[in-house]
Amino acid sequence: MGPANTRSVLARSMLASSQQRVENRLGDRGSSVFSIGEHATIDILLGSCAERFHLPVNGAIGLYSYDGTLLKGSSRVRSLVKPNETIYLQRKEDCDDFLFGCDWLRWGLLCFMIAIAGIITTSCLFAPLKHTHPFEMGVVIDAGSSHSEAVIFRWHHPKINGTGKALEEGRVKSHKGGISSLTPEEVYAEYRDMLNRTKMLIANYTDERAVLYMSATGGMRLLRMQNPDRASAIMESVREAMKESGFIFEMAEISAGADEGAQAWVSINHIEDRLSSYQPTFGSLDLGGASTQITVEVDRKEEATRSLKLYGKEHFVFSKSYLCFGLDQAYLRYVITLLIENSAFDNHNYTVESPCHCDGFTAQKNLSQILGPCVHSDRLPPHIEDEEDKIIVINGKWNATRCRVVTDDIFDAGTCGRHEYKYCFDEVNITLPMKMDYIAFSGFSSQRMKLGSEVVTD
């Protein structure tokens, strides 16, 4: 989550995924676009469709190609369907399943003999082995400031030089916002539901239990500073739901900014196959809701914030986290700046013109939604909490020059320090590698997609 540099590659967050359009021909008709991993199977996509369209997965529905062919569940989506093709969710016909069109007695005898041979062969192969499956599975919950998402990974064993080469097999999103905005009771219910849906997807691969991790990011770091008791109660609810899920609970924690940056750096270089092939790595620019990170590999251990041993090689990684400079929190600081410059608190006039919004734009926010650690400064009135119930009205009044001045001040470390903001966009204390490609993702790509712009390189 951080600023772009030389040859920055904007919006490559969908590195491991592509878009697939599915038209629903059942019940309330409609269509939806799904983000799927490179190795996602038809079964995983079918499960996501059932969840999106509120349908039961009971063997009676299937996904079909444009020519009416039933797509088989164990096949990879991208091996059967091109990214620009639409596929169709509909009820199966009797003749679509393989055995329905066959002579039952003949195929029954053949399948019986194959099954016996398979049992004998499998017993011989796997009896001496520790594992009953040639791969292991894990689930990592990314608890961001805007939502939580469980990402399912699979990796083959034995590991390569001590590191498993993970493949993403699916994602399950929470229905509500980030956990920092929920009560402990809501968090417990939300995580139970998300993990139950995750188990249904994993059942397509294995009947063994998967390991389970959770990492909370900038939103929870802010809450822990603002209200440590509430943050602790939320994390206890998370752990309780995880322990009751049936997965092998390993860890749930609020990550430090440097750890969050290092995790993102590992992810993008793993996806780009830079780690297992021992090629030069990419720098990581990760823009979230509450914070932004820049992470690069450096030559000297003294400059590193983390040392990581991957595929037998040690990597020295420098990561800088800017709390309060994620998309959501930076916007709140922008709004509070407009209020202060318009003397809103002195005049009790809470309607402001925004030079960074187009003419005709209007939005409302309760002041209590804006106040927090990221906006407190010496420019706020001493009893600002008494104004929390006020409604802020933001009207667009586009002025490119004025917009640039306001945003420059927000990111200027000197101006930030003079106004006694706790968190400023200060300079990185090392010389960043200039002959390095950087990959920018998360908020960078989501904003690119909203704007409809192309990938930018230089």
Phi, psi of 454 (to 5 degrees): -90, 170
The two tokens of residue 369 are: 């939604």
Report the amino acid identity of residue 440: A
Q: What is the sign, positive or negative, of the torsion defined by CA atoms of 422, 261, 215, 254?
A: negative
Is 132 labeled as ligand-binding? no
The CA distance from 339 to 200, in Å, is: 48
In the annotation, is 260 catalytic? yes
Contacts of 333 (CB under 8 A, 6+ apart): 324, 374, 375, 410, 421
Cα separation of the two ends of the chain? 20
Q: Which of 136, 169, 260, 297 is catalytic?
A: 260
The two tokens of residue 74 are: 């164990």
Is 290 labeled as ligand-binding? yes
The CA distance from 126 to 119, in Å, is: 11
- Which long-range CB contacts under 8 A does 69-76 form with residues at least 24 apart? 70/96, 70/97, 71/42, 72/42, 73/41, 73/42, 73/43, 73/46, 73/204, 74/41, 74/42, 74/43, 75/41, 75/42, 76/39, 76/40, 76/41, 76/42
Is 289 labeled as ligand-binding? yes
Contact 393, 352 (CB under 8 A): yes
The CA distance from 321 to 287, in Å, is: 10
Extract the annotated binding site.
289-293
Extract the annotated binding site for ATP.
289-293
Q: Which residues are catalytic?
A: 260
